[in-house]
Structure 1
Amino acid sequence: MEEAQTILSAAAEAGDINGLYNSIKKVPNILDHIDETPFVDSPMHTAASAGRTNFVIEILSLKPSFGRKLNPDGLSPLHLALQNGYIETVKRVIKFDKELAWVKGRERFTLLHFAAETDNAGMLAELLCVCPESILDVTVRDETALHIAVKKMKLSALEVLLGFLGRTSNKQLLKCKDEIGNTVLHTAVATSQPQMVKLLVKNYQANKNEKNLNGDTALDIAIGLQPGAAKTTIENILRGARASQRSSLAHHHDHDFSIADFLKSKEKIQEKIFKRIFQMQKNLSMEMRNILLVVAVLIATTTFQAVLSPPGGVGGGSDNNLLPNGTLIKATMSSTNLIPFSNISHINATVLLPSDNPFKLIPIKDNYENGSSYRDDFIRFYMLNTIAFLASVTAIIVALPIQGFKWLHISLVFLMLSYGVSFKFISPSYLHAKGFELLSSIYAGFVYCLIIIKVLYNTLSVSHLQLKRIRMLHWLVMNSSDYSTKVRP
């Protein structure tokens, strides 16, 4: 066993794959024997720390668990490779198993934390592309990779991370706090880094008035810095961004508002509306969302077409009956070249001159004998058709994400408005036409007010109590189930 282990260790240092298999020939279960030890410097650790990429990949194929095993120092093989600057080794190994990028080492450091600490912009970008979710990982001190980059004063790493957050619309992650409640901006101010402070304020002003566990804002920390050029510059940057001290934010009580306070408080009307929206989103799987969109689009198309071509059609019919307040005039027109290559020189035509109110020209034949009128039945048809149309469009709005589909949502607003306008051209009543046009506009505005409020709840830059209540509500709805089905009768 000792001879095989010596051969294996030498092979790992030299990256000798033949030596690896020679040791296996001598002791077939040698890798299993190493794997039994919880924390050990495995041959993969040795090879990775020396940048022996081919050997690392080979042994990873034979023993995948080695990729996640920590040595006595709490480091995985890829942690060692990154620490020693073997970037290509990390990149190639991650191609075979991207889950290795999430392995948490000592103090829950991931590869992303290490890359931020070493200011390796290329490796940071690679890791963010391979496993973007790692941006959410935090250390035992609740530090994100952003906190690490700022604490270690790695400007290039911070720029890469901010670029990623901006392009993925995740800048709200800049409000994440470490164990003492400091955001990235707090940390940049506390470490006297004007360039980083300017970059953070420019990218996300929502961060400017966040408080840490001591109740201090970024400006409070800046005021407490040692006098000097850095302190002056940082204060000027924050004041230019209209940052405030905690004393001027005393009227906000959201800092002390806890989840217990939220659960004890009375549910507000707007929270009931948001609760329904969150529940609909939670219950809609991707498959159900696709089915809903197909059915809703079909209904919307059918109902919109129905209002353009209502039952019986529109117009004066074919019996030359005079429409209300209209006038029929027979006329003869003469022309020698009206139609090319034709000897026709006279055309007889019947011209209808409309009344002053075009909305009274719509009724078709009035064949009703029971006292009802076309207008009455048309209103009933339009009411039912409108309910179906607006319900289907609302379903499309709910199922269609805002992110990436803003122009489609704007088109849906125009569709609802045009539906109301189109009624004016076929309605037998001018007053009803204006009324339904107004109702369609109001409904469109109401639906999108809900959508806009929901978007603002995620992106508003001001931290206040109501936003905190909505965030708590969102977390509760998304992380709870219908427990009534699990209660024994």
Structure 2
Amino acid sequence: MTEKMESRLSEAAMKGSVESLINLLQQDPLIIDKAIASCISQSPLHLSSLLGHLDFTTELLTRKPEFAAELDSEGSSPLHLAAAKGHLEIVKRLLQAAPEMGMVRNSDGRTPLHVAAMKGRVEVVAELVRVVPESTRIVTDLGETGLHLSVRHNRVEALRVLVEVMRRDGELVNWRDCDGNTILHIAVAKKQIEIINFLLTNGSVEVNALNRNGSTSLDILKQSPRDLRDSEIEDSLRHAGGLSAKDLHLITGEWVPTKGPQIAKRLSSHQKSSKKPIPKHKHTDWLGRKRSALMVVASLIATVAFQAGLTPPGGVWQDDYQLDSNGNPVDDPHTVGTAVLAYKDPIQYGAFMIFNTIAFLASLSIILLLVSGLPLKRRRWMWIQMVIMWISITAQVLTYFLALRNMSPSSAQSMLREVTEISVLTWLCLMLVVFIGNVVRMNLWILRKNENLIEADSSRASQTVQGALYAFPITEIFLELGRTVCAAMVTQLSVHIVASIELITEKNVENTAESKQNRNQRQGIGKNG
């Protein structure tokens, strides 16, 4: 009789007949308890959740909410089945009854979030993440998160939802599986162009992350069989700063394949575990892109400054001119190979060489630091190099205007002065924007550090937390203050340089007028003679 009743209960669950369920309960009020105690492969709640019978599921959960925690013969809960099929309302009911089941892995090592991500159940993924955000940190037996599974099964929309949520959680977007592969590695290996472009434009993915084999995403592309998509993928990766492991080695000075993070696998548990901090990867994509950009710009400025030093405005004398035809010393002697400007206007030539030398040496300093192999991989060193680059670029700009000044005839000096004033004013405004932006970033950085420190030390005594809050940021505040002072010094230097240019220009105008007057006097003396 009991087996027949259980069979009728299973049949009612498959049909979703609430009326049949009520009739069976009237005949045997313990039939649901007996179904739980029996060894059937799937309970009535599993069947109704799988088939999407909302009313039947709701009735069962109302009478026996603990039914939601039962597992079938494959270790799957009703939530696993409902999530796989995309039955959103049933998922909501099951989460209300037993939210802890969102953390449970089945015999395949997958949580309901993993299953929903694999199937592309976007709404279910969003609901699971909202109710059980800790489930985003649970991984499979292969160390894969929901992101990895959505990429492997090409579920773009599910990936978008997960990335949007995990972006707030630091390093989860760049989580590595047991082989050290990030989601970008997998997307490139499968040549999923839409996912690759989304990840690269998202802004938080590490394009040059290394897997256990020491391969970047660009290396993965080169190692895979070639097809028509390769060119587009390679262009996207390089546009985002993608490098091969070999090129990355030249920039960072090290070549150590990064190991995947040691992930604590959270097995089936009915207790919510607290968030664990995720270790930061040593070689961040941000630093790689900055090093690459600094190297290119520094090399370009050094090349231009070197060429300008050898060929100053006006060129060099092509002959020696010390004595006239009668053997008498001339008024304006010069030597072959020397700069014409150095004889005609020593002040302008001196200013030109000073600014050009500053640009040249500053650029060479950056190049030397980048290729030295020293462990300058912290962001503070990168900011110092960026300040040096500001100085180099500013000196290069001033060198340009001095060269332009000496190449322009007297009739164009007034127009040149206006162009110089407008250009320098624009440059100062740009420097001011950069200065303000860095001040804002410094303040946000300090606030973020304080928030992270409060969260990390929340379990400690209040006195310890307060002491850490006031002690920890002091060093970093001074570093940021140093950056701010450097930027202010560059700006102030530019102001003084503008004033110097104006004085030099006025001096040259006076010299030109005096030279004309002397020539006129000599011509008058010659005529009288």
CA distance in 2, matches of 1:49, 1:131: 21
Aligned length: 292
Q: Which amino acid aligns with 2:210?
A: K
CA distance in 1, matches of 2:59, 2:209: 49
1:252 aligns with 2:281: no
CA distance in 2, matches of 1:258, 1:188: 17
CA distance in 1, matches of 2:196, 2:461: 45
CA distance in 1, matches of 2:261, 2:92: 42
| Matched position secondary structure for 2:165 | helix
Q: Which amino acid aligns with 2:209?
A: E
Q: Deviations over 1:429-467 (max 9, x none)?
A: xxxxxxxxxxxxxxx853635899xxxxxxxxxxxxxxx
Q: Deviations over 1:98-148 (max 9, x none)?
A: 223223224122222222222222222222211111111211221111111
Distance verdict in 2 for CA 1:240–1:38, change over 3 Å: farther
Q: Name whichever of 116-125 and 69-78 sits farther off.
A: 69-78
**Partner in structure 2 of residue 103 of structure 1:** 104
Q: Which runs of 5+ in 2 are unaligned?
A: 263-449, 482-529
Distance verdict in 2 for CA 1:58–1:228, change over 3 Å: same
Q: Deviations over 1:316-355 (max 9, x none)?
A: xxxxxxxxxxxxxxxxxxxxxxxxxxxxxxxxxxxxxxxx
Aligned match for 2:477, one of 429, 448, 456: 448
CA distance in 1, matches of 2:468, 2:206: 35
**Partner in structure 1 of residue 179 of structure 2:** 180
> Displacement, 1:173?
0.8
CA distance in 1, matches of 2:177, 2:43: 33
**Partner in structure 2 of residue 19 of structure 1:** 20
**Partner in structure 1 of residue 6 of structure 2:** 5
**Partner in structure 2 of residue 240 of structure 1:** 239
% of aligned pairs identical?
A: 31
Q: Which amino acid aligns with 1:237?
A: S
> Displacement, 1:218?
0.7
Q: Is the 8 A contact 1:171 1:204 kept in 2?
A: no
> Displacement, 1:51?
1.6
CA distance in 2, matches of 1:257, 1:213: 5
CA distance in 2, matches of 1:191, 1:39: 40
CA distance in 1, matches of 2:142, 2:61: 31
| Residue pairs, 1:127-206, within 5 angstroms | 127-166=128-167, 169-204=168-203
Q: Is the 8 A contact 1:39 1:70 kept in 2?
A: no
Q: Under a length normalisation based on structure 2, what TM-score does the superposition of the two structures give?
A: 0.48
Q: Is the 8 A contact 2:180 2:258 kept in 1?
A: no
Q: Which amino acid aligns with 1:242?
A: G
Q: Deviations over 1:368-389 (max 9, x none)?
A: xxxxxxxxxxxxxxxxxxxxxx
Q: Which amino acid aligns with 2:181?
A: N
Q: Deviations over 1:84-110 (max 9, x none)?
A: 342222123323432232232241222
Distance verdict in 2 for CA 1:398–1:53, change over 3 Å: farther
| Residue pairs, 1:18-167, within 5 angstroms | 18-37=19-38, 40-166=41-167
| Matched position secondary structure for 2:229 | helix
Distance verdict in 2 for CA 1:17–1:397, change over 3 Å: farther
CA distance in 1, matches of 2:261, 2:159: 32
**Partner in structure 2 of residue 227 of structure 1:** 226
Q: Deviations over 1:207-258 (max 9, x none)?
A: 2222222221111001123323311111111122222222234442543689
Q: Is the 8 A contact 2:117 2:155 kept in 1?
A: yes
CA distance in 2, matches of 1:201, 1:283: 30
> Displacement, 1:191?
0.3
> Displacement, 1:181?
1.8
Hey, which of these two has a bigger chunk of helix by percent? Answer: 2
CA distance in 1, matches of 2:149, 2:470: 40
Distance verdict in 2 for CA 1:145–1:27, change over 3 Å: same
Q: Is the 8 A contact 1:82 1:115 kept in 2?
A: yes
Q: Which amino acid aligns with 1:448?
A: I
> Displacement, 1:160?
1.5
| Matched position secondary structure for 1:105 | coil
Q: Which amino acid aligns with 1:446?
A: T
CA distance in 1, matches of 2:203, 2:81: 34
Q: Is the 8 A contact 1:205 1:241 kept in 2?
A: no
1:213 aligns with 2:242: no
> Displacement, 1:48?
1.2
CA distance in 1, matches of 2:172, 2:258: 21
CA distance in 1, matches of 2:239, 2:85: 42
| Matched position secondary structure for 1:161 | helix
Q: Which amino acid aligns with 1:82?
A: A
| Matched position secondary structure for 2:7 | helix
**Partner in structure 1 of residue 518 of structure 2:** none
> Displacement, 1:15?
2.9
Report the aligned-residue RMSD. Answer: 3.7
CA distance in 1, matches of 2:126, 2:17: 31
Q: Deviations over 1:256-288 (max 9, x none)?
A: 68999xxxxxxxxxxxxxxxx9xx869944694
**Partner in structure 2 of residue 371 of structure 1:** none
Distance verdict in 2 for CA 1:159–1:449, change over 3 Å: farther
CA distance in 1, matches of 2:217, 2:260: 22
Distance verdict in 2 for CA 1:284–1:136, change over 3 Å: closer
CA distance in 2, matches of 1:132, 1:195: 26
Distance verdict in 2 for CA 1:45–1:259, change over 3 Å: closer
Q: Deviations over 1:463-482 (max 9, x none)?
A: xxxxxxxxxxxxxxxxxxxx
Distance verdict in 2 for CA 1:33–1:82, change over 3 Å: same
Q: Under a length normalisation based on structure 1, what TM-score does the superposition of the two structures give?
A: 0.52
> Displacement, 1:197?
1.4
CA distance in 1, matches of 2:259, 2:119: 38
| Matched position secondary structure for 1:107 | coil
Distance verdict in 2 for CA 1:221–1:61, change over 3 Å: same
**Partner in structure 2 of residue 357 of structure 1:** none
Q: Is the 8 A contact 1:53 1:89 kept in 2?
A: yes
Structure with greater contact order relative to length (CA < 8 Å, sep ≥ 6): 1
Q: Is the 8 A contact 2:43 2:72 kept in 1?
A: yes
